[in-house]
Structures are given as C-alpha cells and as structure tokens.
Amino acid sequence: MNIKKLIADSIAVEIDGVDFEKMIIESVFVDNGDYCLPCFALAKTLHKSPMLIAEEISSSLKVSQYIEHTECKSGYLNFFLDKSKVAEEIIDELKSISAFKNEKNNKIICIDYSSVNLAKYMHIGHLKNTIIGESIARICENLGYKVVRINYIGDYGTPFGKIIAAYKMWGNSEDVDRRGIDALQDLYVKFNQEAEINPELEEVARNYFKKIEEKDEEIYPLYQRIINIAVKEAERLLNILGVKFDSWRGESYYSEQLDKVVNMLNSKNLTKVSEGALIVDLSQFDMPPCLIRRSDGASLYATRDIAAAIDRYDNYKFDKMFYVTGHEQMLHFKQFFKVLELAGYDFSKNLEHIHYGLFSLPTGKISSRKGKQATLVDLIDYAKSKANEVIKDRTFTIEKPDDVAWKVARGALNFNALKVEVGKDCLFDVDKAFSFDGETAPYMQYSYTRIESILRKAKELKVNSKADYSVLTNEAFELVKSCNNVRNAIEQAFTKREPSMVVKCAMDICKTLNKYYASTKVLDGESAQISAKINMLGIVKNALTVLFHLICIDTLQEM
C-alpha cells in the first residue's frame, strides 16, 4: 500500500513542478500525526508563509477514507490516518510471502564473489566477501532478476608449484589422503619457510608451475588432485555458510584464452610496448597503464579478467555484472572496465565493482592455525562453541539443539558481515555477536521465535472471528507500517548495492516488535481483537522470513 500516494492524491491543489508524494514524510512524533507535508520549500515559489500554505492545502483536501483528520502546525500539514482502515488493507495485501517480492523481469545479473584462493586457507575476509555477494544475489532474486553466482577461484600460478615442490620433497600420498587440505597447507607453509633460508627453491617452484602449464604427464595429474581437494574443502565451508555457486571457472580456465585477448587488443591498436611489457595506455583517463603482458611473457590479472568478462557475456548475455571485492582493487577494476570499453564491448557499461571495507577480529580472540589471521574454519568452530553456550540451558521440543546451535552460529557470522555499510571497515567481536541484547542476529532470531510461539498458542485457542483492527494502535500500527515499507527497503538496498539497509529494516521491525510485546498481551482481549493482533503478527512473520533470507539468517521455530 503506497500511503504517501494516497495522501498526495487527496491534495486538490496543483503547483507546477511540485510532486507532493515525494515531499510527504513520516512524522517523527505521534502528536504530529502519522505523516506530514513540510511546506517550507513551497514558500519561496508561492510567496506565502509555510503556515498559510499548509492551511490552504488543508482546506482543499478531498475526502479520503484513509485520512481521519489533519492539523496545521508550525508550517507543517499533519495527516492523522484512520489506523484501523489502513492496517486492515495493509495486512490483507501482505498476508502471503509473495507480497514481499516483485514479479520476474527476465533480466540477468552475474555476480562474481567469494573468489577463493585454493592455494591458501579461506579466512575471515572470505566471510565478508562471500556473504555480501550472497546477500546481494538474494536481493536481486527477490526483485525478479535471474542471478548467476560465480566463484572465480584462484587455481593457477606459482603457489601451486610451491605445493607440488614441497610434496615432492617432504610430502606423502597417505598423509594427503588422510588430512586433505591441512596436509597441503602444511606443505605450502613449510615451502615458504624453507625458501626464506634457500631462495633458490623459488626457481624450483616456478619450474613446477611451468610443468603445470605444459600439462606434464606426471605433474599435471598431481596438480589436479590438489585442486580437487581444495575445491571440495571450499564447497564444504561455503555449504556451511549456506552458499552455492553456478560457476567455478577460475584463473586456469581463462589462462588458456589469453592469446585471444592479446590478439584482440592488438588488432584494435590499443596496446603498445613499454619497458618490454605490453600495456594499454590509460593516461588520458588519469589512470596508470593497464598491464596486459609482462616483459617475461607472463599474463596478468587484467588479461584474465578481460577474458572472463567476454566469456561470461557470451555465455549468459547478462544485463549487469557485479564484482564483489575489497577497496584495494578499485583501480584494477576501473582499468580493465575501461579497456573493454575502448575495445568496443558495449556490455562494459554494465560492469560494476562493489568494493567493501576491512573486516577484522579483536586481537587474540581466536587462535589461528595461520598465526596472524583466523581461518574461516577457526571462526566457524568458535562460533559453534559460542552458540552451544548460548542455548545449553534451553529445552527444545521442535527443532534439534544441534540444528538450533548451528543456525544461531551461522546467523551471528553472517549478520556481522552485513550489519555495517559495505564500504566501511568493521571489527567483528565474536563474543558480543551472540548476545541476546542489542543489535545482533540472536536478538532478531529470538524475536522471530516469539511470533512462532504466539501463533502456535493461537491455533490452540482456535481464534477465527472477524478481526477488529481498531486495536492496532501505537507500536502495533508502527509494526504494520514497517512491514508495508519492506519492499521499498529491498528496492533501495538493490539500488545502492547495500545489504545493510535490509539488516536495518529487519532490526527496526524486531525492535518495534519487542516494544509491542512489552506493552501488549497478544492473546488477551475479545476474540475479534485477538484475531486482529494475530493477523498482524502473521504479516510481521512473513516480512521477517523474507528479510532474514536476504541477509542470510535462518528463522527458528524456537530458541
């Protein structure tokens, strides 16, 4: 229900260039009505005082079944709604989950996120990258887009030569079979330690990588085995986070298409040689040159990303392509986007870099198998242990304690990756993340379970009389309005590529819900009043179900 439009439609006065719907805002204080029209911006145009303008507009209002009365105060025209009528219509509109989603628009959005480096453990940075990308993907789907999730894996380069060199010198097949990714990481760490003492080992690693490139009959199968182990572990961790990808094409796939990219750029006279390297000069766009091929003939990230963008457009014909990475890669994306534009690819205008701030832990909170930065496995294990502490004294009759513990853990992890604006740095205090007080995932999940509990009790009461919506005042009406604003919040989150707006929307609903619980006993009163309150909680449940899904938080039946 577009309340602002309903109010604007009641205004009979017409002023050139004035859109009353855009001017109407929600009132901050209850005494000043539900919505108001500030008339100060009109004073200069009409050469009248804001108060006189408010009075003239008020006197011209058409009769509306949704507006109870108006008041002019200090240059504002305040609108007091017929809460019963408005609440009834909003609840009727939002009684199904589908009401919080848009129709399909048949447009395709590709999203490149997570970008796991298979030579290393996944770490806390991957959590933020992955959950921001997944949340944006879900927001797009809610708005009807078809989404292609792409995990552009780092599965190529000298680091894999290092692992193979270490395996040949110190590893054994049985240990790799038994310990998988941990065995490979131990070999990688040992190689780097030994290379600090014996730098000539770096050349050994480069030679092994060359054999990978040449698909050597002995080394290439070993490389494939390493990749399979690393991919399986990445899939396991991403599955724990609730994330699945449509494409795992990585650097190795596009490394075989680089000559085609170089030839294409050469044919368009975009390249030149500088100090032995092949570049695209971007000085006229106030950017450093985009390196296409190093002086030793090696390709670079930009070359592979150009190849990947062309391949993805050929495969998916996307309408938008989002890349989710950190701030530090901003120049890289500007450069290769510009190169694609100069090469005549029209889809380049639909490429977008969504860059995020740093995501870190308080020092010493979680011991790490890597020393400085906690791995994702460490973080997940710690979150599970904290979740078990939180629920250890609770009794569950519907969901299993282990399932609840994991959903609480996952919610806390994902919420903290999304709660601040994408571009801002964020310190993730894992201990505070599991509090039931304040802005946390457990607080929101517990708010949801209270709805579930009340709805179960209501079924036992078998309340089904016609609802009396006059009971929905104060916090109850604020809840109804908040649910009515959900679709707009989702659309704004998409427009601004900002999942934290969905987090805020969900949190505001939960806070208002708990204020409502503090002042009202839902199952007390006449049957018609209880019906109205139950119907209201039904749309709040639907709204939170949708919002939780968009920010990668599980709903719980009990907690």
Q: In this predicted model, what pLDDT tens digit does every residue of 197-247 receive, in sequence order?
A: 999 999 999 999 999 989 999 999 999 999 999 999 999 999 999 999 999
pTM of the model: 0.91
**Lowest mean pLDDT, pick from 103-107, 331-335, 481-485:** 103-107
Q: Which residues pair with 291 in a beta bridge?
A: 279
Which pair of tokens denotes residue 406? 């994991």
What pLDDT does 291 receive? 94
- What CA–CA distance (Å, rounded) separates 21 from 155? 53
- Distance (Å, whole) CA 279 – CA 271: 5
What does the pLDDT look like over 263-279, one tens digit per residue? 999 999 999 999 999 99
Give the span between the Cα atoms of 301 and 294, in whole angstroms: 11
Identify whether 245 is part of a domain.
no
Residue 361 lies inside a defined structural domain of this protein:
no
Nearest to 434 by CA among 483, 373, 384, 368: 384
Structural domain of 48:
3-81
pLDDT score for 369: 41
Determine the average pLDDT of the residues in 390-413.
86
Same domain, 200 and 297: no
**pLDDT score at 378:** 85
Closest CA to 291 of 283, 307, 299: 299
Band of the pLDDT at 372, cuts 50, 70, 90?
A: very low
Residues 335 and 389 in one domain: no
Indicate if the pLDDT at residue 299 is higher than 70: no
**414 and 498 both lie in a single domain:** yes
Determine, yes or no, domain membership for 284: yes
Sole residue written with tokens 């050994």: 204
Q: Which residues pair with 272 in a beta bridge?
A: 279
CATH of the domain at 37: 3.30.1360.70
User: What would the pLDDT profile of 426-462 be if each residue is shown by its tens digit?
Assistant: 888 877 888 878 899 999 999 999 999 999 999 888 7
| 408 and 497 inside one domain | yes
Total count of domains within the chain: 4
CB 41 within 8 A of CB 20: no
Nearest to 226 by CA among 155, 281, 178: 155
pLDDT digits (tens, 9 = 90+) for 85-123: 999 999 999 999 999 988 778 899 999 999 999 988 888
| Strand order from edge to edge, sheet including 146-150 | 146-150, 108-112, 320-326, 351-356
| pLDDT of residue 303 exceeding 70 | yes
Q: Is residue 122 part of a domain?
A: no
Residues 261 and 395 in one domain: no
Residues 276, 214 share a domain? no
344 and 383 both lie in a single domain: no
Shared domain for 268 and 345, answered yes or no, is yes
Whether 98 is covered by a domain: the verdict is: no
Question: 499 lies in a domain?
Answer: yes
For 163-208, the pLDDT digits (tens) are: 999 999 999 999 999 999 999 999 998 999 999 999 999 999 999 9
Q: Are residues 20 and 167 in the same domain?
A: no
Q: Which of 240, 272, 303 is the last residue of a domain?
A: 240
- Average pLDDT of the segment spanning 295-302: 77
Is 526 domain-assigned?
yes
Q: Are 454 and 513 a contacting pair, CB within 8 Å? A: no
Element (H, E) at 384: helix 376-391
- Is residue 108 in a domain? no
Q: Are 449 and 539 in a shared domain? A: yes
